[in-house]
Chain A
Amino acid sequence: MCVNVPAAGMAVTGEVRTYASSEWASRSFCGICGTPLWYRLNREGADYSLAAGVLDDLTGLVLDQEIYVDTKPAGYAFAGDHPRLTEAEFLATLGLPEGPA
């Protein structure tokens, strides 16, 4: 679950470890306790998809979108009437064809 933060809005200190999870993005986490920090595209000045749990105060934020719902496990679901996009629908919003699963 993440909150989108523009690069200019972020200041980071501490033990950040980064894993190159794909050709187009990386995932960063705390090297001491494993808390996920953000997902970020490999583009200069890219936004941070910040892990929501990291923030001390989430007052006023709402769940706005769910993506890749076709690969969601059947055993649980989130409540709410926010948009839910399948993989294909999400990739279409980026102008990309469907990739490998």
Chain B
Amino acid sequence: MTAMKGHCLCGAVQIDVAKHRGFTAVCHCRMCQRWTGGLFICFPAEADQVTVAGPVTRFASSDLAERAFCSTCGSHLWYRATGGDGHYALMPGLFDRARDLPLKSEIYTDRALPGLELPGDHARATRADYESRNEHLEGDLP
């Protein structure tokens, strides 16, 4: 999938992605909703394909992951699990070329804020579905 360059609203953080997995994914869990203000949408890319420069603040939102944002303008940059393969779940809004990535997955669908359930034929999972497949999770509240 095509390489792309992105930046935050103020331009201080620049991100280069050499390769990514080619799709977006949405999460409606309570932590993602609170962090984003409404809709969490990301596209995954392997750690060695991503280069970051600029003033990044990382917040350890749980034992499992960090959420990063620009220290100057607050633009969200990524969600990243601390274990596993360390891939980045990047925010597509930073990248002009991420605009038309297809939506492939929506999780915690039963938690979606009013009006934010997304139509389409992508894969979906409720909170119960998703947590039954990921037993290390203990709910979606901090």
Residues on A lying within 8 angstroms of B by beta carbon are: 1-2, 17, 19, 21, 27-29, 31-36, 51-54, 58, 61-63, 73-80, 82
Verify A1–B9 contact, CB threshold 8 A.
Answer: no
Residue B6, interface by CB 8 Å: no
B residues 87-120 touching A (CB-CB < 8 Å)? 92, 98-103, 113-120
Residues on B lying within 8 angstroms of A by beta carbon are: 9-10, 24, 26, 33-39, 41, 57, 59, 61, 67-69, 72-74, 76, 92, 98-103, 113-120
Q: Which residues of B contact A78 (CB under 8 A)?
A: 115-116, 118
Verify A73–B39 contact, CB threshold 8 A.
Answer: no
Verify A35–B115 contact, CB threshold 8 A.
Answer: no
Verify A19–B35 contact, CB threshold 8 A.
Answer: no
Verify B37–A2 contact, CB threshold 8 A.
Answer: yes
**Given A76-B26, A82-B115, 16 additional A-B pairs, CB 8 A:** A1-B39, A27-B73, A27-B74, A28-B74, A34-B68, A34-B76, A35-B34, A53-B34, A53-B37, A53-B113, A58-B114, A61-B114, A63-B114, A73-B92, A75-B103, A79-B115
In the complex, what distance in Å separates the CA atom of A21 from the CA atom of B10? 8
Main secondary structure of the interface of B (DSSP, over half): loop
In the complex, what distance in Å separates the CA atom of A2 from the CA atom of B98? 23
Verify A54–B37 contact, CB threshold 8 A.
Answer: yes
Verify B115–A29 contact, CB threshold 8 A.
Answer: no
In the complex, what distance in Å separates the CA atom of A33 from the CA atom of B57? 8
In the complex, what distance in Å separates the CA atom of A79 from the CA atom of B113? 12
